[in-house]
Structure 1
Amino acid sequence: MPETNRGVVLGATAFLMWGFAALYWPFLSASEPSEVLAHRMVWALLAMCVFLLLARRGWSWLPQVLRSPRQLLLVAAAAVLISVNWWGFIYSVSITQTLQASLAYFINPLMTVCLGVVFFAERLRAAQWVAVGLGVVAVGVMTVAYGSTPWLSLLMASSFAAYGAVKKYVSLDGMQSLTVETLMMFLPALGFVLYLEATGAGTAFSVSPGHTALLVGGGFVTALPLLLFGLAARRVPLSVIGMLQFIAPTMMFLIGWLIQGEEMPLSRWIGFLFVWLAVCVFAYDQIRSSRARSAVARAEAARVGAARAPTPRPEPRV
């Protein structure tokens, strides 16, 4: 299988797993979201150790990271942001607000481009401004539809967008960065889990063996799609990743509406209509921009190739 096709399969699998995760966490409803989050942090480190072992990556790179305060600070910031995002997702699906999670990941690309403008002095194209404007309208309509600001959606979207922005400065590959992030989360999370068990508030061993297995499995549910995503990002253009990322919120929307039976009055349909319009405009702009860059790259390659080609010598006259 060509590397590009392999990357598409890996990326699609990662986003499918993120979508199906909306069905996983409600099975842990016997635990508070904070306890589920703590176990997710603890067992994600175990999952990353397993993946490093399988990939034969070793730990020789870790001492250099530990000797770099700047890298440690950046990774710590990333760990805090992704923890907030994880908690928001667990909480939203546990209280049957999966549609808010869906809305979050639909508007996340719009949040990302806004951060690019504010912090990286990036300039938005006209279509991107239109998409952002439609996203703002969508949030306004959803505020009316829910009767309050959809703060869970905004929390998840902004934390994940900020997580991506911080990761731009981290000089580690995806597997290494995630390993260090989970390593930083481990001790605080383990301390919280032990505290809950000591005070009798924990549920890790008091509900059922199946519940315990699901808590442990949460680490792998967390780490595996992130690992697949990292592998896919190296094989396919970002424009392709940008299209694939809408698989997850689409699945969350269908799960919330069709399986969990969340209400979808007309006002929410109108709000999601604006979201989908924003997504379509954003996707169209991404595809058009990618094609334009490819055309420029091909033209430049052809020009360089023509310049390097040897000049044919004139045939001698007889």
Structure 2
Amino acid sequence: MHISGRGVAMSVFASLIFAIIPAYALYLAPLDGVQVFAQRVLWSLPAIFILLIVAGRMAALKEAMLRLMREPILILAIFTTAALLGVQWLIFVWAPINEQMLDLTLGYFLMPLSLVLVGRIFYSEHLRKLQRIAVLFAAVGIAHELWRVGSFSWVTLLCAVGYPPYFMLRRWMAFDSFSGLFLEMLLLAPVAIYLIINYAPLGSFLTAPHLWYLLPGLGVLSALAFAAMLGASHALPLGLMGILSYIEPVLLFFMSVFWAGEIVESGEWLTYIPIWFAVLLVVFDSVRVLLKQSRHVN
């Protein structure tokens, strides 16, 4: 599979938006992490539907629904991907509110390595020399953190292992990015409604009127980021997508320190510096290959 410039751009765009969302969640008090998750699901649903219309993908949504009726195995698959996505959406907004954003960040440092491993084992994807060097540097950083701390928190492990099976199922299902995401949000909507009705603090929107515009904004950001990420997962080899995904935890790290105010211990720098170098190698390699492909086309 060739490197798609559009796929790389979508992956970088998704990383930028995802890095904003945990910091954004800090402004949604008095809602706790579970309520922010529930509201995120409900506000994402109309945002994704509007994107479907704007992008002219309603025919793809109709085809996806027809496929669900023709192929019952896809119903089980879409319920599974919805559950996997729901867990990731919950932890993504729960962690910063509960001062575990650095654990979240470490999980997203581990997740691209999981994607690279999945791409190599299940899809026989091969990495170029600079990509292999980048993975090596990233692995050094992760190994140092494991040696320094001695274990990973449950937040870190959930982030690290949750997305690879999701992407594998979504690739197998071959649904349009917007259509599949819309169907997953439809399945998660009853859960979100139940959580809001039974556990939401009374009068939240009266005591915090800023929620009226911040929550729709969260839905738009979530829809745009996931649509871009899923588009990238179809346009790029999983290994390359995994390496490009290091952009997100680097940005999350800066958000954790400079926005959320979490403190980095001196020993942690030996974790982050090799990973940042890996990101630079990947960016350089991707730009180099894209320029080479462009010269061949012209």
Q: Same fold (TM over 0.5)?
A: yes
Do residues 116 (structure 1) and 119 (structure 2) align? yes
One-letter identity of the residue aligned with 1:84: V
When Rg is computed on C-alpha atoms for both structures, the one with the higher figure is: 1
Q: 2:66 aligns with which of 64, 67, 80?
A: 64
Alignment-derived partner of residue 250 in structure 2: 250
Q: 1:190 aligns with which of 179, 188, 193?
A: 193
Do residues 80 (structure 1) and 83 (structure 2) align? yes
- Trace 1:1-318 onto structure 2 (pairs within 5 A): 11-58=11-58, 59-67=61-69, 68-120=71-123, 135=138, 137-143=140-146, 145-146=148-149, 148-197=151-200, 201=201, 204-230=204-230, 245-277=245-277, 279=279
Contact 2:96/2:260 (8 A) holds in 1 = no
- RMSD over aligned CA atoms reads 3.9
Q: Which sections of structure 1, spanning at least 5 residues, go unmatched?
A: 302-318
Q: What secondary structure, in the 3-state scheme, does the structure 2 residue paired with 1:157 have?
A: helix
When normalised by structure 2's length, the TM-score is 0.78
Partners of 2:171 and 2:64 in 1: how far apart?
A: 19
Give the drift of 1:217.
Answer: 2.9
Partners of 1:119 and 1:202 in 2: how far apart?
A: 48
**Residue 129 to residue 33, structure 1, CA distance change in 2 (3 Å):** same
Partners of 2:53 and 2:92 in 1: how far apart?
A: 29
Alignment-derived partner of residue 315 in structure 1: none
Partners of 1:244 and 1:266 in 2: how far apart?
A: 26
Give the drift of 1:240.
Answer: 7.7
Give the drift of 1:137.
Answer: 4.8
One-letter identity of the residue aligned with 2:216: V
Higher mean alpha-carbon deviation, 270-279 vs 177-186, is at 270-279
Q: Which sections of structure 2, spanning at least 5 residues, go unmatched?
A: none
Residues 186-244 of structure 1 show CA distances to partners (whole Å, capped at 9, x for unaligned) of: 112212212225xxx45643532212432333222211122244556777888886675
Contact 1:78/1:181 (8 A) holds in 2 = yes
One-letter identity of the residue aligned with 2:79: A
**Residue 239 to residue 148, structure 1, CA distance change in 2 (3 Å):** closer
Identity of aligned residues (%): 27
Contact 1:35/1:202 (8 A) holds in 2 = no
Contact 1:143/1:150 (8 A) holds in 2 = no
Number of aligned residue pairs: 292
Give the drift of 1:34.
Answer: 1.3
Contact 1:29/1:94 (8 A) holds in 2 = no
Higher mean alpha-carbon deviation, 74-83 vs 243-252, is at 243-252
One-letter identity of the residue aligned with 1:33: G
Give the drift of 1:51.
Answer: 1.4
Partners of 2:115 and 2:227 in 1: how far apart?
A: 21
Give the drift of 1:104.
Answer: 2.7
Partners of 1:254 and 1:287 in 2: how far apart?
A: 24
One-letter identity of the residue aligned with 2:66: Q
One-letter identity of the residue aligned with 1:14: A
One-letter identity of the residue aligned with 2:63: W
Contact 1:71/1:171 (8 A) holds in 2 = no
Residues 107-153 of structure 1 show CA distances to partners (whole Å, capped at 9, x for unaligned) of: 32211122335555667788777766655553443245457524322
One-letter identity of the residue aligned with 1:107: L
Partners of 1:219 and 1:41 in 2: how far apart?
A: 7
Partners of 1:168 and 1:233 in 2: how far apart?
A: 8
Partners of 1:87 and 1:212 in 2: how far apart?
A: 20
When normalised by structure 1's length, the TM-score is 0.74
